[in-house]
């Protein structure tokens, strides 16, 4: 006896191993069309979370469908080295062993880091297998493996020689604890309680003062101007004057700049070009001196003159007292402002001038913007184009150096202050030697840049470097550009835009045809899932509870493209229940026995035709939804078809009284069942594969995964319509049964008042047979309008009588018919008012007007029937 419950854990590992052993995931160049997806590489340190599950399920659905469509499907997996995250983990691991990073050489540190990566890295790739991901694992790549590293170095050198990469002294986000640059994305801003200090500066040569407001009094030591708005009347007399900085006594100018907000504080702004991005820009505009008062670790530098070596936050308290003593402090008030902290160390990020490597974005941005705006690369959903355009039109140069060891060390060598960029030290030496042939230069004179490259500088090459595109390989020619990129919109700038730039820079071609942006997974309260909140369910735990198919169903059914999705475990439960439903349908069908001696019922033939038409209708929707990446709709189409049409209606239609069934009927049934499995396979690969094999004996290579994906055919609409009509009659009869507590199988008589529709039904023997079987009718016949017995229902404009022994509840019937009458009267009234409007009749398309007339006639007929019926009931 087969279990009544589908057990996912038993079959998932079996089928995954089977597929992998058969080599179904592998792709090699051949003469078929390539369908390529590159995985958005997760951090090598990462573990599977909800975002990954969503993202990778979508990729797997797309790649499996393409494979079934006969394309050469290639899904390349891999991880990135996540320089900051990984380095932080390695440093922590070393600390636990009692080793300080500063005690190690770069090489020693990297040895530990690689060991750590080999041991703990790539867990996530193992976890993806549990989800059913059909990646070509032989192609697994890592951003620091040999091929990828060479690509990174080559691209750096190439950009440098093209003048698209430079070293510059700019304002950056500085993490004083990690002592590295951070990207904007690694800085988290939050409102915090702080204080607003009002400080007065003496105007030189006068007995007056200007008062400024600041949250960071410790930077006063680095002030090089006071700025006011040019149209601020309060300060119009200050033109050309200067003030003295408290404590240090530096004399600084009063300048006029539009940037200043007149309404903030006193309308006067202290300008510290070395420690604020906006101040820096003002400084550039007005040629101000730059005084850097901090060291790299956030302590005061020599340039500060006071508090040297003390921490910036201690100094904030100390300077408050000093200013008070000097009489410069006007007042201190509580204040809330947005403070940026490092994602990794939580230290307050310091805007800092520092010498870093930048990619010049202007030229790179141009083709990247163009080819998205003209839909050469299509975005789903489309509205992401706005976001993309906005960023690219305001793009800033990209800071790619990081003060870390884990990553690609920058291929730049210095001789004194001169820099030589080359793929290796030997080539750098050649360059240096060519320039300085006479100084006795040796390799020892060159020192390599100590910094590493931003991880995104590897990731932006991913679609190229995975196929060794920098060596113009055959693989690259075949697999590139890839079909679709599936990723979250949160990295549209960090990653998507830059991949497109890289594509046009080095391949002169887009990296992908389409980008499908997924939403962010949120919990049922709409909060972003995060470790801190602890609101993220354990991904593998979910798979254990609901099965991979159940989880995939849950992820897919709540994932309209682009929008955020509120994840609810309930959806996985639906998925599990769906698996179980199909499982039980299989149990039913495999329990039937083909018997040539059985009659092939007309109703069975009809049901077979009908279910095929319905399947085509469903597939039309599925195909359309796939084209538009509306995957949640596509899976809903299949769910609804399989559960409602196939299981609830069709299987009941052909269900034999005993287990014996005509071979033709059984055969059609199994074929439709197989089509359902093929259509559903990309979404729910395990349960479909298992049932595929249970349904029939299969040859060695006959697996569901490798079947052709179903194509919709033309639909015979009139056949569908007539069966749908019978289904409605059946539902109405069930309604009566429910109301009168009649047993489902108690046989009833049904009479219809003669009409075109009801007579046509009567003449169609297979339809009547179907109706009688499904509704458990003894007889179906037509009668005259004057018939007056049983319970009445109306369908379209036809009147039916359901006959049964039990006495009918006259009061309840009158009430329900009256309710229906009220509804119909309202309906007719609204149609009448439309048709009474001359402008409507004259202007609306004739078909629309005609339809309104039909609605009116039908409504009026229903009113007539209902009024008659109420009369008849009242006479009882």
Partner RNA sequence: GGGAGAUUAGCUCAGUUGGUUUAGAGCACCUGCCUUACAAGCAGGGGGUCACUGGUUCGAGUCCAGUAUUUCCCA
How many residues form the binding site for RNA (CB under 7 A)? 79
- Minimum CB–partner distance for residue 390 and RNA (Å): 6
Closer CB to RNA, 300 or 565, in the complex: 565
Residue 752: which of 729, 731, 794, 782 has the closest Cα?
A: 782
- Minimum CB–partner distance for residue 666 and RNA (Å): 14
Closer CB to RNA, 55 or 465, in the complex: 55
Q: Is residue 385 involved in binding RNA (CB under 7 A)?
A: no
Binding piece for RNA, criterion CB under 7 A, among 160-168, 309-317, 555-563, 680-688: 555-563
Q: Is residue 660 involved in binding RNA (CB under 7 A)?
A: no
Rounded CA separation 544/387 (Å): 38
Binding piece for RNA, criterion CB under 7 A, among 405-413, 572-580, 749-757, 807-815: 572-580
Q: Is the CB of residue 165 less than 8 Å from the CB of residue 359?
A: yes
Q: Which of 130, 662, 737, 773 binds RNA (CB under 7 A)?
A: 737
Q: Is residue 759 involved in binding RNA (CB under 7 A)?
A: no
Rounded CA separation 632/626 (Å): 9
Rounded CA separation 293/290 (Å): 9
- Minimum CB–partner distance for residue 360 and RNA (Å): 17
Q: Is residue 846 involved in binding RNA (CB under 7 A)?
A: no
Element (H, E) at 338: strand 329-342
Closer CB to RNA, 234 or 829, in the complex: 829
For residue 597, CA distances in Å to 593, 660, 810 come to 11, 9, 49
Closer CB to RNA, 605 or 834, in the complex: 834
Q: Is 783 helix (H, G, I), strand (E, B) or coil?
A: strand
Q: Is residue 712 involved in binding RNA (CB under 7 A)?
A: no
Q: Which of 591, 593, 779, 809 binds RNA (CB under 7 A)?
A: 591
For residue 836, CA distances in Å to 17, 764, 827, 852, 859 come to 70, 40, 14, 11, 16
Contacts of 223 (CB under 8 A, 6+ apart): 245, 250, 252, 270, 271, 272, 291
Q: How many CA atoms lie within 13 A of 840 on its CB side?
A: 14
Binding piece for RNA, criterion CB under 7 A, among 201-209, 368-376, 680-688, 839-847: 839-847
Closer CB to RNA, 60 or 633, in the complex: 633
Q: Is residue 284 involved in binding RNA (CB under 7 A)?
A: no
Q: Is residue 545 involved in binding RNA (CB under 7 A)?
A: no
Q: Which of 318, 373, 387, 670 binds RNA (CB under 7 A)?
A: 387
Q: Is residue 580 involved in binding RNA (CB under 7 A)?
A: yes
Rounded CA separation 442/357 (Å): 26
Q: Is residue 435 involved in binding RNA (CB under 7 A)?
A: no
Q: Is residue 858 involved in binding RNA (CB under 7 A)?
A: yes
Contacts of 393 (CB under 8 A, 6+ apart): 369
Q: Which of 217, 246, 267, 859 binds RNA (CB under 7 A)?
A: 859
Q: Is 798 left (phi over 0), alpha (psi -120 to 50) or beta?
A: beta
Q: Using CB under 7 A, which residues numbered 777 to 836 contact RNA?
A: 796, 823-827, 829-830, 834
Q: Is the CB of residue 289 less than 8 Å from the CB of residue 222?
A: no
Residue 307: Cβ within 10 Å count: 20
Binding piece for RNA, criterion CB under 7 A, among 32-40, 103-111, 311-319, 520-528: 520-528
Q: Is 179 left (phi over 0), alpha (psi -120 to 50) or beta?
A: left
Binding piece for RNA, criterion CB under 7 A, among 66-74, 146-154, 463-471, 740-748: 740-748
Closer CB to RNA, 577 or 694, in the complex: 577
Q: Which of 118, 741, 763, 786 binds RNA (CB under 7 A)?
A: 741
Full DSSP string of 614-665: HHHHHHHHHHHHHHTT-HHHHHHHHHHIIIIIIIIIIIHHH--SSSEE-HHH
Residue with tokens 């949160």, as numbered in its chain: 490
Rounded CA separation 578/642 (Å): 9
Q: Using CB under 7 A, which residues numbered 164 to 183 contact RNA?
A: none
Binding piece for RNA, criterion CB under 7 A, among 58-66, 91-99, 184-192, 440-448: 184-192
Q: Using CB under 7 A, which residues numbered 604 to 633 contact RNA?
A: 628, 632-633
Q: Is residue 752 involved in binding RNA (CB under 7 A)?
A: no
- Minimum CB–partner distance for residue 841 and RNA (Å): 8
Q: Is 750 left (phi over 0), alpha (psi -120 to 50) or beta?
A: beta
Binding piece for RNA, criterion CB under 7 A, among 92-100, 217-225, 637-645, 705-713: 637-645
Q: Is residue 331 involved in binding RNA (CB under 7 A)?
A: no
Q: Which of 314, 652, 747, 785 binds RNA (CB under 7 A)?
A: 652
- Minimum CB–partner distance for residue 605 and RNA (Å): 20
Closer CB to RNA, 229 or 576, in the complex: 576
Q: Using CB under 7 A, which residues numbered 101 to 160 contact RNA?
A: none
**Tokens (6 digits) for 669:** 């049934």
Q: Which of 311, 427, 490, 671 binds RNA (CB under 7 A)?
A: 490
Query: In degrees to the nearest 10, what's the CA dihedral of 853, 854, 860, 864?
Result: 150
**Tokens (6 digits) for 567:** 């994840």
Q: Is the CB of residue 211 less than 8 Å from the CB of residue 246?
A: no
Binding piece for RNA, criterion CB under 7 A, among 91-99, 501-509, 606-614, 636-644: 636-644
Q: Using CB under 7 A, which residues numbered 31 to 90 contact RNA?
A: none
Closer CB to RNA, 481 or 560, in the complex: 560
Q: Is residue 9 involved in binding RNA (CB under 7 A)?
A: no
């Amino acid at each position: 006896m087969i279990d009544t419950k589908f057990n996912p854990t038993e079959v998932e590992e079996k089928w995954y191993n089977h597929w992998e052993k058969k080599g179904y995931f592998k792709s090699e160049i051949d003469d078929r069309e390539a369908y390529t997806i590159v995985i958005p590489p997760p951090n090598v340190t990462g573990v599977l979370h909800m975002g990954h599950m969503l993202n990778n399920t979508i990729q797997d659905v797309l790649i499996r469908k393409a494979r079934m469509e006969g394309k050469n499907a290639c899904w390349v997996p891999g991880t990135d080295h996540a320089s900051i995250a990984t380095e932080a983990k390695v440093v922590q691991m070393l600390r636990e062993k009692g080793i300080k990073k500063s005690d190690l050489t770069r090489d020693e540190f990297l040895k530990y880091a690689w060991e750590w990566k080999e041991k703990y890295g790539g867990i996530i790739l193992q976890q993806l297998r549990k989800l059913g991901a059909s990646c070509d694992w032989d192609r697994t790549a890592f951003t620091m493996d040999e091929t990828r590293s060479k690509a990174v170095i080559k691209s750096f050198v190439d950009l440098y020689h093209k003048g698209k990469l430079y070293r510059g002294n700019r304002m950056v986000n500085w993490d004083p604890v990690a002592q590295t640059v951070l990207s904007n994305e690694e800085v988290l801003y939050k409102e915090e309680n702080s204080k607003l200090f009002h400080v007065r500066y003496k105007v030189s040569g006068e007995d007056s003062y200007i008062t400024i407001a600041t949250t960071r009094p410790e930077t006063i030591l680095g002030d090089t101007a006071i700025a006011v708005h040019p149209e601020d009347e309060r300060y119009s007399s200050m033109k050309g004057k200067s003030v003295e900085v408290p404590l240090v006594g530096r004399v600084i100018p009063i300048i006029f700049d539009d940037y200043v907000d007149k309404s903030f504080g006193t309308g006067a702004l202290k300008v510290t070009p070395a420690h604020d991005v906006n101040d820096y820009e003002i400084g550039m505009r007005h040629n101000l001196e730059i005084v850097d008062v901090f060291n790299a670790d956030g302590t005061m530098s020599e340039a500060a003159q006071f508090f040297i070596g003390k921490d910036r936050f201690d100094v904030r308290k100390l300077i408050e007292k000093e200013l008070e003593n000097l009489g410069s402090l006007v007042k201190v008030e509580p204040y809330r402002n947005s403070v940026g902290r490092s994602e990794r160390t939580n230290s307050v990020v310091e805007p800092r001038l520092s010498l870093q490597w930048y990619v010049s974005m202007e030229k790179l941005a141009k083709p990247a913007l163009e080819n998205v705006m003209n839909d050469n690369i299509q975005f789903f959903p489309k509205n992401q184009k706005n976001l993309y355009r906005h960023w690219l039109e305001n793009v800033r140069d990209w800071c790619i150096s990081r003060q870390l060891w884990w990553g690609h060390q920058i291929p730049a060598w210095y001789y004194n202050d001169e820099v030589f960029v080359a793929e290796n030290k030997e080539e750098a030496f050649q360059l240096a030697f060519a320039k300085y042939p006479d100084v006795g230069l040796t390799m020892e004179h060159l020192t390599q840049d100590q910094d590493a490259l931003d991880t995104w500088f590897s990731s932006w090459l991913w679609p190229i470097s995975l196929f060794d595109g920098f060596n113009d390989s055959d693989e690259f020619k075949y697999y590139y550009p890839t079909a679709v990129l599936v990723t979250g919109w949160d990295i549209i700038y960090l990653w998507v835009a830059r991949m497109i730039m890289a594509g046009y820079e080095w391949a002169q071609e887009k990296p992908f045809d389409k980008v499908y942006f997924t939403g962010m997974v949120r919990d049922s309260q709409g909060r972003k899932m995060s470790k801190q909140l602890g609101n993220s369910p354990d991904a593998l735990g979910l798979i254990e509870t609901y099965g991979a198919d159940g989880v995939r169903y849950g992820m897919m059914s709540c994932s309209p493209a682009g929008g955020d999705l509120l994840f609810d475990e309930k959806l996985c439960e639906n998925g599990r229940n769906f698996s179980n439903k199909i499982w039980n349908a299989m149990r039913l069908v495999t329990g039937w026995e083909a018997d040539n001696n059985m009659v092939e019922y007309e109703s069975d033939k009809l049901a077979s035709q009908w279910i095929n038409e319905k399947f085509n209708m469903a597939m039309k929707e599925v195909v359309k939804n796939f084209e538009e990446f509306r995957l949640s709709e596509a899976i809903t189409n299949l769910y609804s078809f399989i559960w409602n049409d196939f299981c609830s209606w069709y299987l009941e239609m052909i269900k034999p009284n005993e287990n014996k069934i005509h071979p033709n009927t059984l055969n059609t049934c199994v074929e439709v069942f197989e089509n359902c499995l093929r259509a559903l396979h990309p979404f729910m690969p395990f349960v479909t594969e298992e049932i595929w094999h249970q349904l029939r004996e299969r040859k060695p290579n006959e697996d569901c995964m490798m079947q052709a994906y179903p194509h919709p055919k033309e639909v015979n609409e009139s056949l569908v319509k007539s069966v749908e009509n019978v289904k409605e009659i059946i539902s109405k009869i069930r309604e009566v049964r429910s109301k009168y507590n009649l047993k489902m199988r108690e046989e009833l008589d049904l009479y219809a008042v003669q009409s075109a529709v009801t007579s046509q039904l009567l003449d169609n023997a297979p339809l009547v047979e179907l109706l009688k079987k499904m509704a458990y009718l003894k007889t179906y016949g037509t009668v005259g309008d004057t018939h007056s017995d049983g319970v009445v229902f109306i369908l379209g404009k036809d009147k039916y009588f359901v006959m049964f022994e039990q006495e009918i509840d006259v009061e309840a019937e009158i009430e329900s018919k009256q309710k229906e009458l009220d509804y119909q009267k309202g309906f007719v009234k609204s149609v009448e008012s439309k048709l009474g409007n001359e402008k409507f009749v004259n202007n609306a398309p004739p078909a629309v007007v005609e339809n309104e007339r039909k609605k009116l006639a039908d409504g009026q007929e229903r009113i007539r029937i209902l009024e008659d019926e109420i009369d008849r009931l009242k006479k009882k």
